[in-house]
Amino acid sequence: MKKVLQFSTITCIVIALSGCGSSDESSGNGNVAEPFQSGDTWNGLVYETVTSPYTGKVWLDRNLGASQVCTALDDTACYGDYYQWGRKSDGHEKSDSNTTEIQATDIADVGTDYITDSTAYYGYEWAQAADHNGSLRSMQWSKTDGTSVCPVGFRVPTVAEFAAETTDEGMADNTEAFTNFLKLPSSGYRNPVNGLLDLQGDYGSVWTMTVSSTYFYMSDALYFGNSYAGTYYFNRGYGRSVRCIKD
């Protein structure tokens, strides 16, 4: 037994010269994050997954930051957090986070405040100079390695992916958004001018990772109210819900 242990130690020392014990070739830190599974914890909350009856795609069962799956379209416990478009989970997404009027100069290190903006042109932004066309933030929300807002193996959906599960299947209002397999609530939004919450219980909207094809300074979201539903482009300073899809 003693010889075996000595041999194993020597072998590992030799192999270590070429990376023994490192299983993450991309980062070299020896830590490989496991893909998220239904029932796992992400950022302090346990999420399950649901499979679409329309496309077979797998989604998280609730909005990011929600403590439970919706029991009604105005169930406040399932509203979740309010993200500015393309931004990480840095604390700004909490509905009671502080606000600031100072624009971010780097989308990767922004701070914890919700960034308000009242300018008229290219307005309602939080990182206008740092990423004026949204390409960096779209890329950030497309990541599946757990360094963005979604757990490992998941990302923010495209506008086409959201439409395929909702409006393309006849979803016409916020009632049908709730009865959809995604159980989408009317969580309202966070105002980009003053940071206040608006239209909770009446209106819902969920960001996509898609930059608007109409205006380069806007991005697409799914939205729905008591008599309408669709996909449209919005200014990036709004705080809206986020739902993750498996890549």
HSE, side-chain direction, 13 A CA sphere, residue 12: 8
pLDDT tens for 185-214 read 999 999 999 999 999 999 999 999 999 999
Average pLDDT of the residues in 3-31 = 36
Q: Is residue 142 part of a domain?
A: yes
In a domain, 28, yes or no: no
Query: pLDDT-based confidence at 98, cuts 50/70/90?
Result: very high
pLDDT of residue 146: 97
Domain presence at residue 16: no
Question: Is 8 inside a domain boundary?
Answer: no
Other Cβ atoms within 10 Å of 91 Cβ, number: 14
Cβ pair 221, 209 in contact under 8 A: no
The pLDDT value recorded for residue 70 is 98
What's the domain range around 224? 39-246
- Would you tell me how many other CB atoms lie within 10 Å of the CB of residue 200? 17
Q: What is the pLDDT of residue 19?
A: 40
Instruction: Give how many domains the chain has, as a whole number.
Output: 1
User: 159-190 pLDDT, tens per residue?
Assistant: 999 999 999 999 999 999 999 999 999 999 99
Residue 226's Cβ-count burial label (10 Å; 0-12, 13-18, 19+) is exposed
Q: Supply the pTM of this predicted model.
A: 0.87
Does residue 21 belong to any structural domain of this protein? no
Strands (DSSP E) found in 2-133? 41-42, 45-46, 49-51, 58-60, 83-84, 99-100, 114-115
Are residues 171 and 164 in contact, defined by beta-carbon separation less than 8 angstroms?
no
Residue 134 forms part of a structural domain: yes
User: Rounded to whole angstroms, how far apart are CA atoms 202 and 137?
Assistant: 29
Q: What are phi and psi of 11, to 5 degrees?
A: -60, -45
**Averaged pLDDT, 30-46:** 87
Report pLDDT digits (tens) over 102-136: 999 999 989 999 999 988 667 899 999 999 999 99
Q: 20 falls in which pLDDT band (50, 70, 90)?
A: very low
Q: What's the mean per-residue pLDDT of the chain? A: 89
Distance CA 75, CA 234 (A): 25
Q: Is residue 163 part of a domain?
A: yes
Contact 41, 60 (CB under 8 A): no
Of 179, 176, 158, the C-alpha closest to 167 is 176
**Which residue has tokens 């100072």?**
102
